[in-house]
C-alpha cells in the first residue's frame, strides 16, 4: 500500500506548498507510467517491477522545510524488491488516481485562497 502521510510535516504554512504539491503531482504521473509498464509486462520473463520513490524522501525531510531541502527532493523510478501481480498494480493504479485528484483539488483550493487574499475584501 502507498503511504500518503504528508500531513505529518509542517509544510502547508509556507510558500513551498505549491512547489511540493507540484513535485507530488510529478511523482503521481511517474507512478502512473510505472504502473502501466508493470501491467504491460506482467507476463514478461525476468521483468522487474518498477515503483516511484518520493514519499520516503518526504518522510526523511526535517519538520521545518527550507528551500535547499526541498530542492533535494526528486521523484525517481526504482526497481521494487518484490514482484507484484496485475491485481496489486490495479489497486495501486486506483490509489494513485485518487491521490492525484486530491492533490489537484487541494492545489486549486490553495490557489483560490491566495487569489482571494490578493483581491482583498472590497468586492
Query: Could you tell me the pLDDT band of residue 26, with boundaries at 50, 70 and 90?
Result: very high
Asked whether the predicted pLDDT for residue 37 surpasses 80, the reply is yes
pLDDT confidence of residue 121: 62
Query: Could you tell me the pLDDT band of residue 6, with boundaries at 50, 70 and 90?
Result: very low
Q: How far apart are CA 116 and CA 45, in angstroms?
A: 55
User: In terms of C-beta density within 10 A (0-12 exposed, 13-18 middle, 19 or more buried), how is residue 99 classed?
Assistant: middle
pLDDT confidence of residue 123: 56
At 15, is the secondary structure helix, strand, or coil?
coil
DSSP at 43: T
pLDDT confidence of residue 16: 76
Mean of all residue pLDDT scores within the chain: 85
In this prediction the pTM is 0.79
pLDDT confidence of residue 122: 61
pLDDT confidence of residue 11: 41
pLDDT confidence of residue 12: 43
Amino acid at each position: 500500500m502507498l503511504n500518503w502521510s504528508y500531513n505529518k510535516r509542517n509544510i502547508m504554512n509556507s510558500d513551498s506548498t505549491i512547489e511540493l504539491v507540484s513535485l507530488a503531482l510529478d511523482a503521481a504521473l511517474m507512478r502512473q507510467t510505472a504502473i502501466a509498464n508493470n501491467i504491460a509486462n506482467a507476463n514478461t520473463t525476468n521483468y522487474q517491477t518498477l515503483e516511484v520513490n518520493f514519499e520516503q524522501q518526504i518522510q526523511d525531510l526535517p519538520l521545518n522545510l527550507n528551500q535547499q531541502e526541498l530542492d533535494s527532493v526528486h521523484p525517481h523510478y526504482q526497481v521494487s524488491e518484490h514482484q507484484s501481480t496485475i491485481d496489486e498494480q490495479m489497486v495501486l493504479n486506483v490509489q494513485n488516481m485518487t491521490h492525484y485528484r486530491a492533490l489537484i483539488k487541494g492545489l486549486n483550493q490553495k490557489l483560490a485562497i491566495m487569489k482571494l487574499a490578493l483581491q482583498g475584501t472590497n468586492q
